[in-house]
């Protein structure tokens, strides 16, 4: 089955730790995205990638980092510089960023809690 | 003003009812429009894209009004399983995609 997987489903972090969230897709999509969702709010874009070895900051990139070494993988690192990291993190992909093909499909998400 | 605005609800309707959600957007250059469904503590799932001519998928009908900058979603013959949060999504093309905060729907027996 084609789809997007994220791991882990739940993650607990101590203050001062960096943690990495995994996102893998086998849809052969070029574009990938990371969002965070806080209660009662819309999704906010952290980073996006149009193609391998390229990524751009979204609206709330501070305290986060990403890499795109393979087309199917787009891991997100939440660094200790992120002051309020407790949230629901969602990875998505789309065929392209071109408007006719930019419907986004989401992975199941990772819930990160800072202890 | 938010770029995409939705009535947060909740909408409480009985089974079999017809319910409609509206969503307004502020950027007149917006090109792509979608409705997503999100169940509690789950990821959003694409419900339907919204086209200028309007489109229908079974009990769901979506419409776009570019002049007034709003999109709508109509659900006919509501089922218990329709209970969820419905997200309005607007894209100006490229990577600029804005998600509304969602409208909660509860369908009761």
What is the predicted pLDDT for the residue at A87? 96
Contact B93 A56 (CB under 8 A): no
Q: Give mean pLDDT, residues A34-53.
A: 92
Which residues of chain A have a CB within 8 Å of the CB of B41? 88, 111
Q: What whole-number distance in Å separates Cα of residue A34 and Cα of residue A101?
A: 18
| Strand (E) or helix (H) holding B64 | strand B60-65
**Residue B54 binned pLDDT confidence (cut-offs 50, 70, 90):** confident
Q: Give mean pLDDT, residues B40-65.
A: 93
Name the one residue in this structure whose structure tokens are 């990291």.
A85
* B15 touches B4 (CB < 8 A): no
Does the pLDDT at position B12 exceed 90? yes
* B109 touches B15 (CB < 8 A): yes
The first and second tokens of residue B12, run together, are 């409480």
Contact B46 A104 (CB under 8 A): yes
- Among A residues 62-101, those touching chain B with beta carbons less than 8 Å apart: 88, 90, 97-100
Identify how many contiguous H helices and E strands chain A contains and give both numbers. 0, 11
Which residues of chain B have a CB within 8 Å of the CB of A56? 95
Q: Decide: helix, strand or coil at residue A24.
A: strand
């Amino acid at each position: 089955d084609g789809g997007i997987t994220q791991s882990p489903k739940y993650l607990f972090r101590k203050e001062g730790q960096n943690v990495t969230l995994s996102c893998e897709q086998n849809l052969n999509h070029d574009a990938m995205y990371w969002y965070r969702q806080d209660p009662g709010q819309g999704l906010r874009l952290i980073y996006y990638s149009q193609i391998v070895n390229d990524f751009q900051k979204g609206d709330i990139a501070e305290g986060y980092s990403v890499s795109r070494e393979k087309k199917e993988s787009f891991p997100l690192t939440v660094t200790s510089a992120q002051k309020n990291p407790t949230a629901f993190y969602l990875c998505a992909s789309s065929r392209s960023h071109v408007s006719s093909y930019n419907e986004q499909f989401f992975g199941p998400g990772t819930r990160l809690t800072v202890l | 003003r938010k770029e995409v605005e939705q009535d947060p609800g909740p909408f409480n309707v009985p089974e079999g009812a017809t319910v409609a959600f509206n969503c307004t957007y502020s950027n007149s250059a917006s090109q792509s429009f979608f409705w997503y469904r999100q169940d509690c503590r789950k990821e959003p799932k694409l419900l339907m894209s919204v086209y200028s001519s309007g489109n229908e998928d079974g009990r769901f009908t979506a419409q776009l009004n570019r002049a007034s900058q709003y999109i709508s979603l109509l659900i006919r013959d509501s089922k218990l399983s329709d209970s969820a949060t419905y997200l309005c999504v607007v894209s100006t093309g490229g990577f600029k995609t804005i998600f509304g905060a969602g409208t909660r729907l509860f369908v009761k027996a």
